[in-house]
Amino acid sequence: FCLHPSSSAQVESNFLAAAAEDCLDTPPMAADLSALLLVLLVCVTYASIAPLIILAGALFFALRWLVLALRYLYVHVPRFDSGGAFWYLLWDQAVLALILGDFTTLAAVALRSGYAQLPFLLPLPLLPIAFSS
């Protein structure tokens, strides 16, 4: 809620437009994106150890999508446009999360004496690297 002092002489359309511009709320994109990346990292990393975490992650992403869609469409008015500059950072971090998840899968298979499967899983961390460029 934004209040601006005004006198009777200053009640012009330009002042009201400037006051409304001052009240626009910029969305906290960094906080939203970091929370999404953290949940993606946890879900991908622990999916091979505890597969039910995928359901919790899917529920989180579904609810978060609804909340963020409504918030960014109807509540917040951005003052700037990054032109998609956040996408490259998000993509690199998501690929890193997939690589860490692949290493977790390899470690879980190796610790459970799955040596017959291990040679077939060794190229697994290399696949996300191919998509990182």
Q: Does 53 score more than 90 pLDDT?
A: yes
pLDDT of residue 46: 93
pLDDT at 107 over 50: yes
Q: Tell me the mean pLDDT in the region 14-25.
A: 55
State how far the Cα of 90 lies from the Cα of 85, in Å rounded to an integer: 9
Distances (CA, A) of 60 to 40, 63, 67, 68, 77: 10, 5, 10, 12, 24
| DSSP element (H, E) containing 130 | helix 126-131
CA 52 – CA 63 distance, rounded (Å): 17
What gap in Å lies between CA 52 and CA 58, rounded to an integer? 10
The model's pTM: 0.72
Residue 115 predicted with pLDDT over 90: no
